[in-house]
Amino acid sequence: MSRDVTEAEFRRLLTLGLDGIERWECGFRSFVTHASLDVPAEQAIRAIDELVERLHENYPFFHPDYAGQMLRPPHPITLAAYTVAARINPNNHALDGGPATAQLERECIDQIAAMFGLREPYLGHLTTSGTIANLEALWVASRRKPGKAIVFSDEAHYTHARMCELLGVKTIVVPVDGRGRMDLAALEALDERDDVGTVVVTAGTTAVGAVDPIDAVVAMAKNRGWRVHADAAYGGFFACIASEPAAQLEQGAWKALAGCDSIVVDPHKHGLQPYGCGAVIFADPNVGALYRHDSPYTYFTSKKLHLGEISLECSRAGAAAAALWATLRVLPLNPAGLGRSLLASRQAALAADEATTATQVLELVVKPELDIVALVPMKAHEHPKATTVSKRSEKAFEHCERGASPLFLAKWRLPEAFGRLALPQLQWDEDHCTVLRSVLMKPEHLDNAASIVTRIANAL
């Protein structure tokens, strides 16, 4: 890939859905309905042209050679649906703000719930992000188990600690095992003095995609009277291929999601949606009573439940619901629909795993459970210092990005506590070690996952 190809592709994507700049002026004029909003077409075109130039200060997120952070391009149908609905600009807070898109949102939630194996009745809605979705789940947990602690692993997303602080809830952080999953022994060691109310399990940590032993945690929680919240913001959509042999996923953990009290998933990750689309679902619809509030000027158009009556957020873009609904119409949540691209991403990680062994200069932090790989620049049977590995990682990262054929990666500051379990051969002379991390979440990565690993090895 050359930089010229990247720029050309970038420009094409920026103009996706437009008939051409020549016709844009006429389209712009049709949008203006009042003289106070009139803008000369030349000025409008100049502003858009300047915006396009400014947007070039970006990484080529759409390209398979971008294998860094969690960025998956929205599907063209998603973008078209979002644009159509955004022209109306519905608000899914109350039915008078978005009656059509509120119904679309409910249908989306039904499909997501079915993917997780949840049975009616349940309660759920879309959110503007996984962060807000997790906030709602933890808020409900704190109301259902008042005064009790919320437990999560030290590889869980930092959202949980921050949101518990915001809610004024006591937290307990348990360590992880050598695979980055919640340590069951540490969880089991908690007793009545710890006063646990809720355990947060993660279906796909954001560092390496580790999936906690959800089935074992759900069983333990049932015996102890704990609630279980599943943060499946990153990995949740893999549930639709969990039973596929080619995916090589541990089915027990995925099947156990149906036994959790609440689940969060982010359609703006593997669900092909633009940013601004998360979701939360509660197994018990009675939690809706916790949201009860009085807004005498809002909920008057229908006796049906308004989505704002079961959400902490107020205004939410109905266009997000429309985009997700249209996407699921063409790529339903099953192995033959959205699952095809998820399986490609999963197999890309397995291909990267195999290619890593062949390089003899790279090691995996852990074997990938989803589609994230973390690579350590060191040879087999080598015992380098953590600082040495960090320097190698930094050098390879820079070389890959600035080479003639750029490769865009991410970095991860692997904490010593986890690292000592996963990489015992390292000499830990500092409390972290920088390694290379790639999120292979685009299905195109299946075709170049092995070459990505080889290019990293060559950079060393």
For residues 412 and 266, state if they share a domain: no
For residues 34 and 154, state if they share a domain: no
Residue 380: pLDDT band (50, 70, 90) is confident
Task: Say if residues 241 and 249 touch (Cβ distance below 8 Å).
Answer: yes
Task: Confirm whether 70 is domain-assigned.
Answer: no
pTM: 0.92
The pLDDT score that the predictor gives to residue 407 is 96
Residue 8: pLDDT band (50, 70, 90) is low
For residues 290 and 419, state if they share a domain: no
Task: Confirm whether 79 is domain-assigned.
Answer: no
What CATH number should be reported for the domain holding residue 418?
A: 3.90.1150.170
Q: What digits encode the pLDDT tens for the residues 18-63?
A: 444 444 445 545 555 688 888 888 998 999 999 999 999 999 999 9
224 pLDDT above the threshold of 60? yes
Distance, CA of 122 to CA of 179 (rounded, Å): 33
Per-position DSSP letters for 354-399, written without gaps between them: HHHHHHSSEEESS--SSSEEEEEE--TT---BHHHHHHHHHHHHHH
Q: What digits encode the pLDDT tens for the residues 69-117?
A: 999 999 999 999 999 999 999 999 999 999 999 999 999 999 999 999 9
Counting other chains too, the contacts that 430-434 makes at CB distance below 8 Å and 24 or more residues apart are 430/386, 430/387, 430/390, 432/386, 432/390, 433/376, 433/386, 433/387, 433/389, 433/390, 434/389, 434/390, 434/393, 434/394
Residue 402: pLDDT band (50, 70, 90) is very high
- E-strand stretches of 187-300: 196-202, 227-231, 262-265, 278-282
Q: What total number of domains does the chain contain?
A: 3
For residues 50 and 168, state if they share a domain: no
- Where among 313, 330, 347 does a domain terminate? 330
Distance, CA of 87 to CA of 31 (rounded, Å): 9
Task: Say if residues 281 and 109 touch (Cβ distance below 8 Å).
Answer: yes
For residues 111 and 39, state if they share a domain: no
- E-strand stretches of 188-272: 196-202, 227-231, 262-265
Helix (H) or strand (E) holding 223: helix 214-224
Query: Which of these ranges, 23-27, 387-391, 397-401, has the smallest mean pLDDT?
Result: 23-27
Number of Cβ atoms within 10 Å of the Cβ of 279: 26
What CATH number should be reported for the domain holding residue 167?
A: 3.40.640.10
**Do β-strands 410-415 and 362-364 pair in parallel, antiparallel, or remain unpaired?**
unpaired
Task: Say if residues 314 and 308 touch (Cβ distance below 8 Å).
Answer: yes
CB-neighbour burial class of residue 319 (10 A; exposed 0-12, middle 13-18, buried 19+): buried
User: How far is residue 442 from each of residues 10, 46, 56, 93, measured CA to CA in Å?
Assistant: 16, 34, 21, 32
In the chain, % of residues over pLDDT 70: 93
1 pLDDT above the threshold of 60? no
The pLDDT score that the predictor gives to residue 3 is 40
For residues 257 and 169, state if they share a domain: yes
Helix (H) or strand (E) holding 319: helix 318-330
For residues 358 and 284, state if they share a domain: no
For residues 91 and 237, state if they share a domain: yes
Residue 303: pLDDT band (50, 70, 90) is confident
For residues 197 and 287, state if they share a domain: yes
Task: Confirm whether 63 is domain-assigned.
Answer: no
376 pLDDT above the threshold of 60? yes
333 pLDDT above the threshold of 90? yes
- Where among 276, 298, 330 does a domain terminate? 330
The pLDDT score that the predictor gives to residue 425 is 95
The pLDDT score that the predictor gives to residue 274 is 96
315 pLDDT above the threshold of 80? yes
Three-class SS of residue 418?
helix
Task: Say if residues 401 and 408 touch (Cβ distance below 8 Å).
Answer: yes
Kindly report the backbone phi and psi dihedral angles of residue 211, in degrees, each rounded to the nearest multiple of 5, phi listed first: -110, 120
For residues 357 and 289, state if they share a domain: no
- Where among 270, 305, 330 does a domain terminate? 330
For residues 281 and 428, state if they share a domain: no
The pLDDT score that the predictor gives to residue 244 is 97
For residues 323 and 387, state if they share a domain: no
11 pLDDT above the threshold of 90? no
Task: Confirm whether 75 is domain-assigned.
Answer: no
Task: Confirm whether 198 is domain-assigned.
Answer: yes
Mean predicted confidence (pLDDT) in 399-428: 95
Task: Confirm whether 66 is domain-assigned.
Answer: no
Task: Confirm whether 71 is domain-assigned.
Answer: no
How far from the centroid of its chain's Cα atoms is residue 399's Cα?
A: 28
Q: What digits encode the pLDDT tens for the residues 252-276?
A: 999 999 999 999 999 999 999 999 9
Task: Confirm whether 67 is domain-assigned.
Answer: no
Which domain, by its residues, includes 8? 1-58
